[in-house]
Structure 1
Amino acid sequence: MELEIEQIRDQQKETWNKFSPGWKKWDELTMDFLKPMGDEIIKLISPKNDAIVLDVAAGTGEPGLTIASHLNGGKVISTDLAEGMLEVAQENAKKRGIKNFETIVCDVCELPFADNTFDAISCRFGFMFFPDMQLAIKEMTRVLKPGGKIATAVWNVPEKNFWITATMGTIGKNMEISPPPPGAPGMFRCAKEGFMSDLFSQAGLKNISVNEVTGKLNCKTTDVYWSMINDVAAPVVAALSKADDTLKEKIKNEVYLLVNQKYPDNNVIIDSSALVIYGEK
């Protein structure tokens, strides 16, 4: 099992590094899309001015950058498997003049910090991809100070996330895609009711709560939607790489038809739904 986890981790590191230019290109759109979930995380952990905060699976820097900008005397340490993503985060920090922000490339299952280091931990859309979620929450709890707060966001059920199912559903209808093995990393792996709160509970966290938070992917046009999803969504790119040009074109046309039917005025603003889970040590 250890070897399998290591293989998944190495594969993910490679994937996220490969996609970091796409995330940089679409940073403004994607960060606007994911902002409500980040805002809810910040509200729940409510870090004090001098807090030391850990942001796990930080990607291009949010919500860690916003947290850092609110602190006076405290700092944020952002971690991610992919150095390519954290390079974008550092660029974003520089652009915004945020100096109390550090990045460290590391695996959540082996955090390089002493016990009881952080006042709060945020993790926006990381859990679904952790090879060993139990070990991940155990590690996060270990480095959290007693009384410290943790909040994480995961995607809700597919039915509430047309922004990804429009494309992945169409690919699934046109291609034979083997479903991932049960429990393997994937978009909706944490959506089942009670799943995340059980995970938090098993790690010894208390005062656990789960809230639904909605967002809007404001693409405006179907062209923007299709381009963005092909630049940032690894499962889409992986599936389409196995299709020939004719099939790719067919899938693209069907996705356009589906999105245009749902947004006939060509004002493509797609609803999404996430769960934000909170706990205290």
Structure 2
Amino acid sequence: MTDDSTITHEAFKQFECDKFSLIAQEYDRAIAVVTSQVDEAILDAVGTKSGIRLLDVACGTGWLSAAALKRQAIVTGLDFAEKMVAIARERCPQGSFHHGDAENLTFESGQFEAVVCNLGILHFPNPEKAIAESFRVLKPGGRYAFTCWTPPTRNPFMALILGSVQTYGSMDVDLPSGPPLFRFGDPTECEMVLSAQGFTQVSVRELPIKWTFSTPEDVMPKIIVSSARLGSMLAMQSDEQRRNIENAIIEGASKYVTKNGVEIPASVMLAVGYKP
């Protein structure tokens, strides 16, 4: 007999898988460009170099994998959205990409010298299980690194989007419940969870990112078509709520107009652990 938590986890996982497959192309053109800004920092954190066997968990459309391949790493990627995997294979023909579940990796224990996960941890119903699996497939002496968004108090982009929804719309929309979006935006939480799974020499630091758009009017439409939960939350508002939210986002984004377009600051936490 399955309990309610199992049902909730599976509903969340299925939503994320279906949604990311649906938006894979738009995600690749928009959000993946933004999140790739921290690729080099992630690879540096796990000592990526020529010949190292690296697993990219929740590889998406393969931007981080491509950066690792440029360093001549031996790259394996995994994602639960098949269309994401298909794009990653096109981008990185030298890599090996698989459709699979981060919480139930099919790889042998001790197979990789580095495991990375760029902004995937918030998409796992059971992050602890995913971290434990990454620990299992690492060789002793290997390193693991993941990133996650920082909360709106330190993240102007998230403050703008979620603040506009909270003020003019509803956060209570009919989406499968998932883990807290900003849980790992807390350094203490990152340290505690990694340590609990056996990692040592844990370090956590914040990295800046910029969201870029051509105009303030582009922000909300681009988020709707290229993100899973944020996009769905925006799309599920009433017509009046959407108009008011969009106007608020346009007004807020206008403050970040530069000669290069709109550049809205944000940040992620980079958490790193060592397998003794």
TM-score, normalization by structure 2:
0.89
Once the two structures are superposed, residues 202-256 of structure 1 have per-residue CA deviations (whole angstroms, 9 ceiling, x without a partner) of 0111111111110112324213323321222223332333333333222212211
Q: 1:245 to 1:176 in 2, by over 3 A?
A: closer
C-alpha displacement of 1:90:
1.7
1:9 corresponds to 2:13: yes
Task: Report what 2:111 is aligned to.
Answer: 117
Q: 1:197 to 1:3 in 2, by over 3 A?
A: same
C-alpha displacement of 1:7:
2.4
User: What is the alpha-carbon root mean square deviation over aligned residues?
Assistant: 2.3
Once the two structures are superposed, residues 23-47 of structure 1 have per-residue CA deviations (whole angstroms, 9 ceiling, x without a partner) of 1333xxx344223321111111112
C-alpha displacement of 1:270:
1.0
Aligned amino acid, residue 58 of structure 2: A
- Range 133-142 or range 222-231, more displaced: 222-231
Native 8 Å contact 2:210 2:265 kept in 1: yes
Task: Report what 1:18 is aligned to.
Answer: 22
Task: Report what 1:43 is aligned to.
Answer: 44
- Range 232-241 or range 54-63, more displaced: 232-241
C-alpha displacement of 1:180:
10
Once the two structures are superposed, residues 101-124 of structure 1 have per-residue CA deviations (whole angstroms, 9 ceiling, x without a partner) of 011011111000111000101100
C-alpha displacement of 1:266:
8.5
User: Partners of 1:180 and 1:44 in 2: how far apart?
Assistant: 38
User: Partners of 1:179 and 1:228 in 2: how far apart?
Assistant: 20
1:202 corresponds to 2:196: yes
Aligned amino acid, residue 135 of structure 1: K
Once the two structures are superposed, residues 147-185 of structure 1 have per-residue CA deviations (whole angstroms, 9 ceiling, x without a partner) of 01111111112122222331222122122323999x932
User: Structure 2: which 5+ runs fail to align?
Assistant: none
User: Partners of 2:114 and 2:216 in 1: how far apart?
Assistant: 39
1:253 corresponds to 2:247: yes
1:138 corresponds to 2:129: no
TM-score, normalization by structure 1:
0.88
User: Partners of 1:236 and 1:135 in 2: how far apart?
Assistant: 24
Task: Report what 2:70 is aligned to.
Answer: 69
